[in-house]
Amino acid sequence: MSASAAGSLAAGRLGAGRSSAGFAAGVTILAVAVLVAVLGPSLVPHDPLAQALAAGNAPPDAAHWLGRDHLGRDIAARLAAGTRISLLVALGATLLSVILGAGLGLVAEANGRWASFVVFGAFDMVRALPSILLALTLMVALGVGTAPLVLALGIAFAPHMAMVARAAWRRETASGYVAAARVMGAAPLATLGRHILPNIAGALVTQAAIVVPRAITTESVLSFFGLGVAPDTPSWGRMIAGAARFAEAAPHAVLAPVAALCVVTLGFALVGDRLRLALDPLREHGR
Amino acid sequence: MSARLADVGLALLRQALLLAAITVAVFALMRVVPGDVVDAMAMEGSLDEEAVAALRADLGLDAGVLAQLRIWVVRALGGDLGLSLRFDRPVAELILAALPTTLALGTLALAVGLALGIALPAAAVLWPRSPFPVLVEAVNLWSIALPTFCVGLAGILVFSVWLGWLPVIGQMLLPVLILGIDNAGQIAKPLHEDLKEAATAAHIRTARAKGLSPARIVLRHLLPNAMTTVVALGGMMLAALIGGALTMEVLFGLPGLGTLAYQAVSGRDYPVIQAVVMVFAAGVVAVNLLADQLQRALDPRLRR
């Protein structure tokens, strides 16, 4: 599969413009999620870690808006704390994947055939594994915790960024202004920073909007498997894993984090859709 | 023809090199990990230092990394993937026992995905004023916005916990449908765009002018030409499906390769992790290779 095909597939998946109502809904969802992540625990008057075994799996009431989990911990407080963890991990991982993928990919492309062969060979290796399996294997090597998780997810998603960056680089280097810069004696890396990077930033931001929700989901799956964040960290995946065993007795404890996960990924999809059109209006003609 | 054979040979060689590189990388990764399976066992139970040393020697973990790699590769080429450190059974046996479940899940999900993913856009082109174009959009948004992990959990809550229609563990209906619809969403939208664009071509106008029925135009003239798109997307889709199947297996308690990988990772069972990663990588590589070659066979413009 060539890089440009991968790029146009990503574009095709996001589709042509949908209604602006969808975009507004997406922005609202993400704004609320960010607000909850920033304000976090101060929104809910309970400690996300405080246990009350006697009140385990209690349904929602006036004091505990979303009920309590199997250890009697307040679900609303854990959800708020988990929003911060999930968003931080996903944003950190996406940033790392841009730096690793686009950064390494562009520098390799700028430095000629061999550098490109080596770097993209490594990315091909990463790409040959499903990202969840790769992250799982990396977590075994790196150990459980938030920093290893960001690193593992960053590596797992780096090839996506590298492919987008390479496709954009090849498109830009084929254009006249890059040739003009070369004729004027600009060094490859200077051309990269001054001319090419600003022009492919849109493509990278668009790809980031695709990667963030995937990173959120992968974080949840890994935590669900017991290999994501540390066991005492309240993340959505950990909440799901803990509550799943008691789904019959306390479905509300599973429902809350699952709903949060679905709604936030939906928000990113709706915003990413419009972002693509806004940042890359030429793509439809460019392929 | 010989140029074409050389092409295929080159692609095969490239993928074989890729697999070899992955083998070495995973092997190295599993050996630089602080704490091996013996450490894990020692922490769980009561192994004294002598027993630890004896167990290491027994499992071949006391040799150097390169020596271990050499031994592993030589044996693996002969079909011997070693013993599972946890289950005390040959790894190859564990893999062969898990493979049918994963293959069944993958094949069924792919079938649902292709059937829906081709039928929906075809119907949307055939009846542009029906609800089908909206359905194409809907299934596309569904697959972008709702991760299979989420849908799987929601499905368990609704169909197993609340309605009680399906057992939570061991059924394949929900995972097949969830993965299938997710796949259909990835393929339906690009295929729909493709078909709409192709419908404006001159030979389609001719076919319409000479009075061919719309159904015949779609089935005989539009879809066959769009097959390259289906194959290109199908390859990617299958690669994504292999990853999605892993999560679904663990979620629905299906005894496939994904569950085996999960158990191996939890138990630090290196030989099993190594082998499962290799099988998954070989699967993805084979799928990509097949999709590439099929695309070339279908589209003469790609043969240069």
Give me the mean pLDDT over the A221-244 stretch. 84
What is residue B90's three-state secondary structure? strand
pLDDT > 70? residue B303: no
DSSP calls for B35-84: S-HHHHHHHHS---HHHHHHHHHHHTTTS-HHHHHHHHHHHHHTT---B-
The whole-chain average pLDDT of chain A stands at 80
Contact A156, A134 (CB under 8 A): yes
Give me the mean pLDDT over the A275-285 stretch. 61
Residues A114, A192: Cα–Cα separation, whole Å: 18
Residues A137, B273: Cα–Cα separation, whole Å: 8
Q: Which residue of A has its CA nearest to B29?
A: A141
In terms of average pLDDT, the best of A29-38, A272-281, B219-228 is A29-38
Residues B71, B271: Cα–Cα separation, whole Å: 12
Of residues A125, A138, A244, nearest to B22 (C-beta): A125
What is residue A74's three-state secondary structure? strand
Residues A205, A272: Cα–Cα separation, whole Å: 9
Measured in degrees and rounded to the nearest 5, phi and psi for residue A281 equal: -65, -15
Give me the mean pLDDT over the B2-9 stretch. 76
* Residue B303 Rama label (left phi>0; alpha psi -120 to 50; beta): beta
Give me the mean pLDDT over the A248-267 stretch. 86
Give me the mean pLDDT over the A116-128 stretch. 85
ipTM > 0.85 for the complex? no
pLDDT > 70? residue B39: no
Residues B115, A86: Cα–Cα separation, whole Å: 35
What pLDDT was estimated at residue A97?
A: 94
Provide, rounded to the nearest whole percent, the portion of chain B with pLDDT above 70: 90
What pLDDT was estimated at residue A252?
A: 83
Q: What is the pTM of this model?
A: 0.81
What is residue B256's three-state secondary structure? coil
- From A284's Cα to the closest Cα of chain B, the distance in A is 11
Q: Do the Cβ atoms of B33 and A140 come within 8 Å? A: yes
Q: How confident is the model at residue A1 (pLDDT cuts 50, 70, 90)?
A: very low
Residues A189, A93: Cα–Cα separation, whole Å: 25
* Residues of chain B numbered 137-156 and touching chain A (CB < 8 Å): 137, 140-141, 143-147, 149-150, 153-154, 156
pLDDT > 70? residue B59: no
Q: Choose between A46 and B136: higher pLDDT.
A: B136
Q: Give how far Cα A185 sits from Cα of A169, A178, B114, Å.
A: 19, 11, 52
Q: Which residue of A has its CA nearest to B190?
A: A12
Helix spans in A98-145 (H): 104-110, 113-127, 131-142
Give me the mean pLDDT over the B233-240 stretch. 76
Q: Which of B84, B79, B68 shows the shortest CA–CA distance to B26?
A: B68
What pLDDT was estimated at residue A17?
A: 46
Q: How confident is the model at residue A12 (pLDDT cuts 50, 70, 90)?
A: very low
Residues B281, A265: Cα–Cα separation, whole Å: 28
The interaxial angle of helices A131-142 and A197-224, nearest 10 deg, is 70
Q: Do the Cβ atoms of B22 and A138 come within 8 Å? A: no
CB-based burial label for A62 (10 Å; 0-12, 13-18, 19+): exposed
**SS3 string of A21-73?**
HHHHHHHHHHHHHHHHHHHHHHHCCCCCCCCCHHHCCCCCCCCCCCCECCCCC
Residues A153, A208: Cα–Cα separation, whole Å: 13
pLDDT > 50? residue B194: yes
Of residues A141, A143, A251, nearest to B157 (C-beta): A251
Count of beta carbons in the 10 Å neighbourhood of residue B228: 18
Residue B266 forms contact with A (CB below 8 Å): yes
Buried-exposed string B166-197: b where 16+ CB fall within 10 A, e elsewhere: bebeebbebbbbbbbbbbbbbbbbbbbbbbee
User: Tokens 């799956």 identify what position?
Assistant: A221
Residues A50-82 pLDDT 10s = 777 777 777 777 777 777 777 778 888 888 888
Residue B194 amino acid letter = D
Tokens of A271: 């915003």
Largest CA distance in chain B: 87
* Residues of chain A numbered 249-268 and touching chain B (CB < 8 Å): 251, 254-255, 258, 261-262, 265-266
pLDDT > 60? residue A219: yes
Q: Give how far Cα A45 sits from Cα of A50, A78, A239, Å.
A: 12, 11, 19
